[in-house]
Amino acid sequence: MKNHNIENVVKDIQVQSSKNNNPVTVKGDSDLLKCVGVGTDAAVFHIEGDTQYVYKVFSADKLETMEREKQVYERLGESPYFPIYYGKGSNFLILSYEKGITLYDCLLKGIHIPRQVIADVEEARAYAISKGLNPRDIHLKNILLHEGRGKLLDVSEYLKEGNDHRWTYLKKGYEEHYDLIDGKEVPLWLIETVRKWYNQKQDSPFDFQEFVQKLIRLFRIKDTKGE
């Protein structure tokens, strides 16, 4: 669908940012667009039956983020590790449709996450660095699993400086503790507890092992109670 046509479709959708870094809310309705994902800056839509494009629609106060993300995709070019950028509209980016399931949903559904995914993320990070970018904000919802391979989504923070250590801890957690939950359906409350605890620790000293042991104790208590 050409840009000027999709503009007419997207205008019926309103994406609004939320406080405290929570996901955006989507208002409005469209007979064509189906929401397939939400983040803190934008929501992603696709047209039923269209396996080529998705439309990442940003809230009105996040258009600078959209522009940064566009610049990152232009630097990345075509790569097996990232979606392909095709163009933009007034408040949306046109990206390639990517099949798969996020690692977030893999944990919820007890789907095995192969070690190859970790290797693919490492390769993706190295590729982004070779393009002068700083790959960060790599978390469970930004990693896609498809046919045993990994791909990174959401590159909006790759122009920022500094290391948020999200991938460092995620990789360490996989290597040292994934065997404890592999094949098990991890409760939503536990995943959300991890996210909230980690966000609260961002501006204070972080002891990874203490953090993990606290989670294991919490999980065992709830598991014993059958919750």
Residues known to be catalytic: 137
Phi, psi of 94 (to 5 degrees): -105, 115
Total number of residues shown for the chain: 227
- Distance, CA of 214 to CA of 191 (rounded, Å): 13
Distance between CA atoms of residues 146 and 144, nearest Å = 7
SS3 assignment, position 20: coil
Which helix (DSSP H) or strand (DSSP E) does residue 85 occupy? Answer: strand 85-88
Give the residue from 90, 104, 198 showing the smallest Cα distance to 153.
Answer: 104
**Which residues in 95-111 are b (16+ Cβ under 10 Å) and which e?**
bebbebebbbebbbeee
- How far, in whole angstroms, is CA 24 from its chain's centroid? 13
Q: Which residue has the tokens 């501006």?
A: 203
**What is the residue whose two structure tokens read 């809230």?**
59
